Amino acid sequence: MNVSKIIEAIETKPLPRVLLVHGSEKIYHDRIFAALKKRNAMDSLGELNWSVFHGARDFVLEPLLHELSMVPWGDGTKIVVLKDADLIGAAVMEQLALWLEQNPKANCLALFLDRVDQRLKYVKVLRKFALEVACEPLEGERLIRYIQDYCQERGRTLKRETAELFLDRAGSDLLFVHNELDKLFALTVGEEEITASHVRSVTSFSPAQIEEYTVFRMTDSIVQKKRREALEVLNLLLKAGEPALRILPLIERQLRLVLAAKTAQGALDDAAKTMGERSSYPLKKMRKDAQKYSLQDVFAGFEAVLHADRQLKLGVPDEEVLTDLIIKLT
């Protein structure tokens, strides 16, 4: 059962005795907690039927057991939440698990943990009767399916190629992905489909993607003389807050790779070592594109980089300086 279906079940169907939520993808934790809170809000006496505890090394079990034993107010369902349960010692958690096993009519308990140790007895006991939700990071096809389903829940369609473009920019961190999707939902109010144009207009790079785009997308586009693509990535990098004085050395490095690829004789391993590169792969990759440049072009490129460096240090706006540089280089 995927998270969306679990959330739907929490909001509309009888709650499980125990909900065991664990894993590193915290946005799942947040969505399940929000679903429980929404379910509780449907109860006219919801505030009286809602309790939240936080785990700690010195956690005292009795108040939690008291809440689990209470008769719910009115006709509602009492929900007890225990966050950070993995901070509680294994012996106390074992007491809790055995108590739950012996008291099948207790109120609903939602346990949230960063991780579970499969070897511990309390985990084995809970798995006999708990609804377990493993919140592990999504990758590849599962991640694409997830965001398409999430968009469908929000009344939007997202074609596969658009989903791939979106993830290429936003990365796989679900918290960042959801933030970017919210921007797209706001942009496309009244529209059914989220298009590639929408994605390009508002989607930012995640922090994890910034370096990859700087090195492998923008600089490659410059060397390949793909001006539009290079300027597009530059614009996104600057919007993401990437400093111009960090971008500029990467452009200069790419020019050095072009120069080395054009002038190196024999194996490229020695040239790479002399340049301080970790491997000769960047030089091998550069050989084909380096043919588009004459030595005069390369040296003119170095002069343009030096000029851009001076302009930045004189306070000329980052976007103006780097845009002008990319136009000169392409």
Would you say the pTM of this structure is higher than 0.85?
no
* Cα separation, 241 vs 268, whole angstroms: 35
Range of the domain at 179: 140-202
- Same domain membership, residue 147 and residue 100: no
Q: Are 154 and 187 in a shared domain?
A: yes
> Last residue of some domain: 119, 134, 149?
134
CATH number for the domain including 222? 1.20.272.10
Q: What is the pLDDT of residue 208?
A: 63
Grouped pLDDT means (10 residues each) for the chain, 330 residues: 78 90 89 92 90 94 95 91 94 96 95 91 94 86 89 92 87 85 92 92 71 69 87 82 83 87 76 73 78 88 92 91 92
| Sole residue written with tokens 């039927």 | 49
Residue where a domain stops, chosen among 187, 202, 217: 202
Mode of pairing for the β-strands spanning 108-113 and 79-83: parallel
Q: Residue 212: what pLDDT?
A: 60
Q: Comparing C-alpha atoms, which of 69, 134, 78 is closest to residue 100?
A: 69
Domain end position, chosen among 114, 134, 154: 134
pLDDT score recorded for residue 207: 64
Angle at Cα 303 formed by Cα 301 and Cα 306, nearest 5°?
A: 115
- Considering the domain architecture, whether residues 316 and 294 belong to the same structural domain is answered as yes
Q: For position 167, what pLDDT does the model report?
A: 87
Tell me, yes or no, whether 298 and 313 share the same domain: yes
Examine the domain organization and report whether 46 and 77 are in the same domain. Answer: yes
Same domain, 21 and 130: yes
Per-residue DSSP letter, 70? S
Residue (of 164, 98, 155) closest to 128 by Cα position: 98
Domain CATH number, residue 163: 1.10.8.60
Closest CA to 184 of 237, 170, 30: 170
Query: Total domain count for the chain?
Result: 3
Task: Give one DSSP letter per residue of 72-138, joined into a string.
Answer: PSTTS--EEEEESGGGS-HHHHHHHHHHHHH-TTSPEEEEEES---TTSHHHHHHTTT-EEEE-PPP
**φ and ψ at residue 190, rounded to 5 degrees:** 85, -5
In this predicted structure, what is the pLDDT of residue 118?
87
